[in-house]
Amino acid sequence: MDAFPGGCQAFLRGVRTAFAAGVAVTVAATVAVAVVVGSVTVAIGVTVVLGLLGSPGLPAARAAAAAPSPPAGPGDAPEAEVLVGPGVNSFSHWDRSPGWIAFNEETEDETIVYTAMGLGRAGIGDISWQDYTLAFNYKIYQYGQWGVLRVYVRYQGPYQGYGLNILPDGIQLVRFDGRWDQVQLLGYAPVRSDLNTTYHMEISVQGDGRLVVSRDHRRLFACTDPARAYTGGGISFGPEAVAVVLSGIKVTGTRIPQDTAERIALERYVRAWQERRAANPKRYPGYLSPAEVEPPGVHHIVLIYNGLYPNNQGDWTPADALPYVAYLGPDAQEALSPLSWFFDTILLLGLSTPGGGALGSSPGATLADWIWYLDKTFSPTGDLAAFEAATARAAAALGDPGHRLNVILMLPYPAPEVSSFGDIDNDGRPEGFSLEGRTQAQADADRLRALQWYIAEATRRWQANQYRHLRLVGWYWVNESIDSSDAGLVRQVSAFIHNLPPAPETATKLYWIPWFNAPGSEDPRSFGLDYTMMQPNYMFLPQVPKTRFAETAERAEKYHLGLEIESEDWVLTSAAARERYFDYLRAGKQLGFMNGVLLSYYQGVKVLAQAARSADPEVRRVYDATYLFTIGRWEETLFPAFPTEGGMH
């Protein structure tokens, strides 16, 4: 997983979106610096990516921050403890992105240096961390233009929590509401952070969002979050376009049992969600139902990755496909014969190619890469043939010869970095997607031509194969966010798909699965996207709490979306990862999206097939539990006696 949802490229596309919307942002160049720590010199490449908030509105924020926080009542807090300090949760225990170097670990002078380009992330703690003070020293050696050192408290995932933005000429305190451009300014101090100068920083968070910020033992400001959005969470450092050394990191405060903290936070969020819905029911049309999908029969969509992977993991055989098409029993005898149908729909997508092209993101792929993927998918011994054979076998075993498996095909992403894609119409001019020397409309015209060619070629190959047990039902927009540079293209592609001549083997619907709160997810139908399912992204970062399920579910109700269930290959080896996966199923039961909601299932590469064949009963349970969930017979919830059990909508 990337350090931030959608990856660095998606983030940079988000910067362009904000720029178009009038937010003060700047994208600049990459600079190289050297950081000296003791006798160690570290070369650092710093990518300049973001300036957020700038100066507008700061006088009002200073006035709002002038009032001190209300004092805590006597006996309000339990005795404080060291949560991070020498020998306690040292940097080796943190969850972090690549690019960090640590010195003198677990000692009083533990020092960490950020060396990677782009966006960094390093954090520890969870929602059980309640009231605490974070103290640390920072020395910035290089600011890129609009560079910022972000320091989060009550951190609950990327851009969720209270963030201290340390800028060259000021320090801001903001509340992030789930995306980098969704912020509320809470406090500001016009103090400089000069290069090569060490500063001591403290930020204290108490109660329902009372925050105090000090530097060099002098209070800068105190403020209270009027929304009281975050009641608990860990800490995280997020350098963006800065070269920085951090030392003396210490967290002192209180925590409560994690299950208690999770339950309290989830109940609180759900009650607020119910109140918001009751106050304005027209804004909550409800979850997206499978009954709304055309053609009918699409409900549980499993993602099947069939690109280039190590050890040929992306190559599918009938034996690989069978555990998805049909539910196989846990013992050897039953495994020889399917017991019932399983997923009703597969979504084929590939990301990597032998030529190095990226089919789903930047830096993009060429026509040769697209043709390789088509050949692999449609060949007589290819991936679709494997699912055809597996479905035929299951149909015979289950006495259902007319059964057909629904198929959604990926549309490769025509990345704007590709200047010479290839000549798709034999006019002697290779199509290109780059903006170099061209307008957005001119580039989009070539991008659209390439996708029209791909749709026509994939449809032709599908029809030529005359699958008896597969049914083409839709196309998938693979990029997981939509910004201003893609919005027009998505609308054009959607219009082209919707206007395809109706035929039994022609798909006229467009599917999308954005990351949590991604740009475009608030109104996907405005782009012509027919069916959208939102990713919770709970699986991948340990600091994301269970409230993420309620946040995702509320967005699904509000924007009329389905949801995604997510696993990863580490569920095969980690009990903690398996519990995190089961939390998705528990949330579905508790929040009402297990039944009657359009769902997609991300499972890495062949994870469920490996779980089906596992001799370890705990690993096998991943497969069995998923099946029970798809037929509505999963019974566990996140918390017992939770007031929303039985459905939210």
Among 167-171, 342-346, 361-365, 445-449, whose mean pLDDT is lowest? 361-365
Name the band, by pLDDT with cuts 50, 70 and 90, for residue 117.
Answer: low
**320-349 burial: b if 16+ Cβ within 10 Å, else e:** bbbbbbbbbeeeeeeeeebbebbbbbbbbb
pLDDT of residue 118: 73
Share the mean pLDDT of the chain.
Answer: 87
pLDDT in tens, 583-633: 999 999 999 999 999 999 999 999 999 999 999 999 999 999 999 999 999
Rg of the Cα atoms in the chain: 26
> Do residues 153 and 259 lie in contact, with contact meaning Cβ atoms separated by under 8 Å?
no
SS (H, E, C) 491-520: HHHHHHHHCCCCCCCCCCCEEECCCCCCCC
Rounded Cα distance, 212 and 221, in Å: 6
Measured torsion, CA atoms of residues 540, 546, 547, 551, in degrees rounded to the nearest 10: 50
pLDDT of residue 8: 37
Name the band, by pLDDT with cuts 50, 70 and 90, for residue 107.
Answer: confident
Among 345-359, 434-448, 488-502, whose mean pLDDT is lowest? 434-448
pLDDT in tens, 322-338: 999 999 998 755 556 79
Rounded Cα distance, 350 and 142, in Å: 39
Average pLDDT for residues 81-105, to the nearest whole number? 91
The runs of H, that is alpha helices, within 415-546 are 440-465, 484-498
pLDDT of residue 642: 62
111 pLDDT higher than 70: yes
Q: How far is CA 489 from CA 12, 347, 515, in A?
A: 18, 22, 19
pLDDT in tens, 241-271: 999 999 999 999 999 999 999 999 999 999 9
In the chain, the largest separation of any two C-alpha atoms, in whole Å, equals: 80
Phi, psi values for residue 257, rounded to 5° = -55, 140
Burial of 269 (0-12, 13-18, 19+ CB in 10 A): buried
Among 40-49, 77-86, 211-220, 488-497, whose mean pLDDT is lowest? 40-49
307 pLDDT higher than 50: yes
pLDDT of residue 115: 75
Q: Which two tokens stand for residue 563?
A: 């949801």
Name the band, by pLDDT with cuts 50, 70 and 90, for residue 89.
Answer: very high
Average pLDDT for residues 485-500, to the nearest whole number? 97
565 pLDDT higher than 70: yes
pLDDT of residue 38: 35
| 630 closest CA partner among 221, 428, 297, 341 | 341
pLDDT of residue 258: 94
pLDDT of residue 504: 79
pLDDT of residue 637: 97
Average pLDDT for residues 132-146, to the nearest whole number? 92
Among 4-13, 93-102, 207-216, whose mean pLDDT is lowest? 4-13
Name the band, by pLDDT with cuts 50, 70 and 90, for residue 85.
Answer: very high
49 pLDDT higher than 50: no
